[in-house]
Amino acid sequence: MPNIEETVLQSDSSEAEGEVQKPKTPGQSQENKSFCSDSHRPECQPEVLSVTELIETIKEVSKLSIAHEIVVNKDFYMEESVLPPNSLEGRFVDTVYKAFWDHLKEQLLSTPPDFTCALKLLKEVKEILLSLLLPRQNRLRNEVEEALDMDLLKQEAEHGALDVPHLSNYILNLMALLCAPARDEAVRKLKSITDPVQLLRGIFHVLGLMKMDMVNYTIRSLRPYLKEHSVQYERAKFQELLDRQPNLLECTTKWLTKAAADITPPSSSSPDSPGSSTMACALPNWAADNSELPSPTMVLYQGYLNLLLSDSDKEEFPEA
């Protein structure tokens, strides 16, 4: 998590004196106008991200969110995604898949057979099978590398000597060895399929389920470790996001700054004193006197109250 105590909240276990107050209206507090003017300062302008940076940020946020969910939700697990059959996305996916498998069928039925797509699929099957192996299964890993040597299979295909039934039987036997007991029946059904296209399609479907099973096994195995180190992990990942995008918490910073200003008595210095207007734009009125610094808990309480009483259509919500 970000080092919040260096920005608005200070690390303090004691409660600051005072009560949570309702948000001050513009007429009640002129100091808060400086808060609104922050958006006009160059350092507060939103940073424009490239498409690549945006995608990477989304990936990192997704990883952080999943890791957090694994820790707090003991029932969290991955499950097969099934699209509604009548949905636009479902029809689109079905159309694309059908076109691909029809193209593969045309290649295999041509004279002589064209194994271009089939070899690419076999390469993917090999990569998935290798990903399902445990680190200690070196002998089995070497066996898969030898049995599914893509250079050798390509040469056999070019000379018309590719033994498709033998390859299919080897892959299915290996799947039966690696799959969870719940997938045994699905693998047995694949052995009764004689059409090569339907067989490959079924193999990929069951391999997808096996990958999901492996992910869930990994989640269960890592959960105790993540619980022990979740705070350090989330703080480090969040800091990486902040280093990559410094303005990531701009709205959160403004939200906490306003909440702290709302629960702090006005500064005793005269607003007409030299330099006071300049300081008002840069710092909240409590920053000059650390003795009046509100506690983190009181700032959060006031911030939540501000959100409850604010106009949701006009206010910017904090990012975190």
pLDDT, tens digit, 9 for 90 and up, residues 239-298: 888 887 777 788 888 888 888 888 887 764 444 444 444 434 444 554 445 556 788 889
d(CA 123, CA 115) in angstroms, rounded, equals 12
- What's the domain count of the chain? 2
pLDDT band at 182 (very low <50, low <70, confident <90, very high): very high
d(CA 140, CA 165) in angstroms, rounded, equals 21
Q: Helices marked H in the chain — which ranges?
A: 32-36, 51-72, 88-109, 116-131, 138-147, 150-158, 164-178, 184-190, 196-244, 250-262, 276-282, 296-309
Encoding tokens for residue 157?
Answer: 């295909």
pLDDT band at 320 (very low <50, low <70, confident <90, very high): low
Secondary structure letter of residue 317 according to DSSP? P
d(CA 163, CA 167) in angstroms, rounded, equals 6
Q: Within this chain, do residues 30 and 93 fall inside the same structural domain, yes or no?
A: no
Kindly tell me the sign of the dihedral angle through the C-alpha atoms of 280, 281, 284, 290.
negative
Encoding tokens for residue 13?
Answer: 């276990």
Q: Within this chain, do residues 220 and 94 fall inside the same structural domain, yes or no?
A: yes
Whether residue 33 is contained in a domain is answered as yes
Q: Within this chain, do residues 273 and 157 fall inside the same structural domain, yes or no?
A: no
pTM of the model: 0.61
d(CA 49, CA 40) in angstroms, rounded, equals 19
Cβ-contact 71, 209 below 8 angstroms: no
| Mean pLDDT of the 25-38 span | 43
What letter represents residue 99's amino acid? A
- The structure tokens 């033994």 sit at 163
**Direct distance between the N- and C-terminal alpha carbons of the chain, in angstroms, rounded to an integer:** 10
What pLDDT is attached to residue 65? 83
d(CA 96, CA 77) in angstroms, rounded, equals 29
More confident residue, 76 or 189: 189
Encoding tokens for residue 266?
Answer: 């006005």
pLDDT band at 2 (very low <50, low <70, confident <90, very high): very low
Whether residue 169 is contained in a domain is answered as yes
Whether residue 73 is contained in a domain is answered as no
Least confident of 49-58, 126-135, 221-230, 237-246: 49-58
What pLDDT is attached to residue 62? 80
What pLDDT is attached to residue 183? 94
Q: Which of 202, 190, 215 is nearest to 131 (CA)?
A: 215
Q: Within this chain, do residues 258 and 202 fall inside the same structural domain, yes or no?
A: no
Q: Within this chain, do residues 96 and 213 fall inside the same structural domain, yes or no?
A: yes
Domain region containing 264: 4-47+247-309
Whether residue 233 is contained in a domain is answered as no
Q: Within this chain, do residues 252 and 177 fall inside the same structural domain, yes or no?
A: no
**Contact partners, residue 271, CB within 8 Å, separation at least 6:** 30, 277, 280
pLDDT band at 23 (very low <50, low <70, confident <90, very high): very low
Cβ-contact 140, 133 below 8 angstroms: yes
Q: Within this chain, do residues 285 and 220 fall inside the same structural domain, yes or no?
A: no
d(CA 101, CA 117) in angstroms, rounded, equals 10
Encoding tokens for residue 223?
Answer: 């959960």
Whether residue 56 is contained in a domain is answered as no
CB-CB neighbours of 43 under 10 Å: 8
pLDDT band at 31 (very low <50, low <70, confident <90, very high): very low
Whether residue 320 is contained in a domain is answered as no
Q: Within this chain, do residues 192 and 254 fall inside the same structural domain, yes or no?
A: no
CB-CB neighbours of 147 under 10 Å: 16
CB-CB neighbours of 222 under 10 Å: 13
d(CA 8, CA 2) in angstroms, rounded, equals 12
d(CA 182, CA 80) in angstroms, rounded, equals 14
Encoding tokens for residue 139?
Answer: 């002998």
Secondary structure letter of residue 37 according to DSSP? G
